[in-house]
């Protein structure tokens, strides 16, 4: 949606749930930046880090949720 593409309701909702799940598991948000334009760039590129303390299953699950192509 940030890129101005067509709204994909289910995919957008899954992405949003992924952000909430990441915050619950890690204690902080996956995408953060003081400058909004930089934040949008990070979101569009799915530029986030998976902490080492997450299980391999959690890492795999989050990486599948944070796909930038809704198709």
Looking at the chain, the whole-number percentage of residues with pLDDT higher than 70 is 94
Of residues 1 and 23, the one with the higher pLDDT is: 23
- Stated as kind and residue range, the H or E segment containing 19 is helix 9-26
pLDDT band at 67 (very low <50, low <70, confident <90, very high): confident
Global pTM value:
0.84
Residue 70 scores a pLDDT above 70:
no
Q: Please compute the mean of the pLDDT values over residues 17-42 and round it to a whole number.
A: 95
Choose among 52, 53, 67: nearest CA to 18. 67
Domain ranges of the chain: 20-65
Residue 30: other Cβ atoms inside 10 A: 20
């Amino acid at each position: 949606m940030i890129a101005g593409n067509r709204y994909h309701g289910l995919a957008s909702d899954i992405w949003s749930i992924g952000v909430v799940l990441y915050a619950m598991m890690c204690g902080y948000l996956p995408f953060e930046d003081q400058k909004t334009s930089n934040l949008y760039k990070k979101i569009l590129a799915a530029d986030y880090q998976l902490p080492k303390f997450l299980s391999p299953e959690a890492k795999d699950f989050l990486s599948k949720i944070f796909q930038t192509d809704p198709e």
